[in-house]
Structure 1
């Protein structure tokens, strides 16, 4: 369960069960006033209110989730809720253990890619305003706010022409990345957003890396156990684009075939002795 309070604090609660289905506790992560917290509660989610949740939280070491701001990186302008979306690092209770900098490494990798894309903009790639900082560390990435993601947009009903245009825009965004020697590596309907004018925008660049570099984060719904997916590559994006095309243009369902003895209704009634 994820929720946000009136003061902008963000909370994420996940219940943990054993292999036998026995409840083992609720893991909690939170952002409060720009600081990261994590904790574990012996209570179930529905039995806790905000006060209960907060009492189990402990500060997460900043270096675990917030990378240091490199020299020369862009600082975001003052937050404008109508135009800006602040992307926070995604972390779990396990990520809060001292010395675990995986989340910070991923956030820095994404910020580095976005800094490069800011120098080479494209209409099908999300606009990056800069990094939000606290002290000398990056806490959020400030991005152009989009209307919704492709999964949500598709649900409202789109014409064939609209779907074709969206697919072209997605392909053009991917080709632009490839021209810079980058692969997105996680192209899927949830990582494509739609702006207020109905144009497709590639988002979520935490798996984006130069060709040939080892992936530090798995692709959505895919394991990193396959050697061919361990490296950043064009092929990852082409497979993702094919998946998006399949999503936008699902194959028509084959007609249901009736058993042979149901092909002739008249024969069926005769067999049943019905005149």
Structure 2
């Protein structure tokens, strides 16, 4: 059974983030605080319905839906395919085995429209939809449609480069497109898989993929790109994926 700290014991919080759910009119309301904590040498994920501004405010009695996080999820075994990180690591350095393998391959085959290990400063979502509204509400509330032709062409070029390596990104969405001036750079490669691999258990972004597709195929990326084109267009464009 998952371990909850005793109610009178301090919760050793490792990470916490607020979660939001879409309510009426495309706006989002607070849904809970997602908490990662450690107890008795193990790491757990839980949800607190209380709104916490600091780890010291997290109370054991508020934690629900506790799940033990397996060690393999945050400390996978080393692989000879991966370049060892410097020791000590930079303060903002991190490594996830699956994403690192993809980055290693892309590092050997660089492309100006695909990120390597360093990102940019803002995402397409932040640029176009800073209020994080739903797709339809975001599109209808924009006062003007920008000229995104060059950026979309760059995204398509980056996608085709990934496909040429026998890989599929599988999570193309505005939050995974960073902007370097007018240049689009695809990021977040943890869902990237070889063509025809299973996508069971692979994280993808709601609203931006076909939930019926469970294989890594190039069409996943091209359909997502078409969805972004529709999102950046006007109200006459039809969305493919559910909200």
TM-score, scaled to structure 2: 0.64
Name 1:221's counterpart in structure 2. Answer: 206
Name 2:111's counterpart in structure 1. Answer: 122
In structure 2, runs of 5+ residues without a counterpart are 1-13, 21-31, 131-143, 238-243
Distance 1:178 1:48, change over 3 A: closer
On the 8 A contact 1:13/1:29 being kept in 2, the answer is no
Distance 1:169 1:40, change over 3 A: closer
On the 8 A contact 2:15/2:35 being kept in 1, the answer is no
The CA distance in 2 between the partners of 1:152 and 1:26, in whole Å, is: 22
1:8-19 residue pairs with structure 2 within 5 A? 10-12=15-17
> What is the CA distance between 1:44 and its match in structure 2?
4.0
Which deviations, in whole Å up to 9, do the C-alpha atoms of 1:230-274 show, x marking residues without a partner? 111111111011011112223359xxxxxxxxxxxxxxxxxxxxx
> What is the CA distance between 1:184 and its match in structure 2?
0.9
Distance 1:178 1:251, change over 3 A: same
Name 2:152's counterpart in structure 1. Answer: 167
On the 8 A contact 1:110/1:206 being kept in 2, the answer is yes
The CA distance in 1 between the partners of 2:128 and 2:215, in whole Å, is: 31
Distance 1:165 1:75, change over 3 A: same
Distance 1:145 1:54, change over 3 A: farther
Name 2:140's counterpart in structure 1. Answer: none
1:105-144 residue pairs with structure 2 within 5 A? 107-128=96-117, 144=118
SS in 2 for 1:46: coil
On the 8 A contact 1:12/1:29 being kept in 2, the answer is no
Which deviations, in whole Å up to 9, do the C-alpha atoms of 1:149-188 show, x marking residues without a partner? 111122487742xx11100110000010111111111111
Name 2:75's counterpart in structure 1. Answer: 66
> What is the CA distance between 1:205 and its match in structure 2?
1.3
On the 8 A contact 1:146/1:193 being kept in 2, the answer is yes
1:205 paired to 2:189 = yes
Q: Which structure carries more relative contact order (alpha carbon 8 Å, separation 6+)?
A: 2
Give aligned pairs, total. Answer: 191
Let me know the Cα RMSD of the aligned residues.
3.7
1:74-113 residue pairs with structure 2 within 5 A? 74-77=83-86, 86=93, 107-113=96-102
> What is the CA distance between 1:80 and its match in structure 2?
5.8
Instruction: Tell me which moved more, 149-158 or 230-239.
Output: 149-158
SS in 2 for 1:193: strand
SS in 1 for 2:58: helix
TM-score, scaled to structure 1: 0.57
1:186-201 residue pairs with structure 2 within 5 A? 186-195=171-180, 197-201=181-185
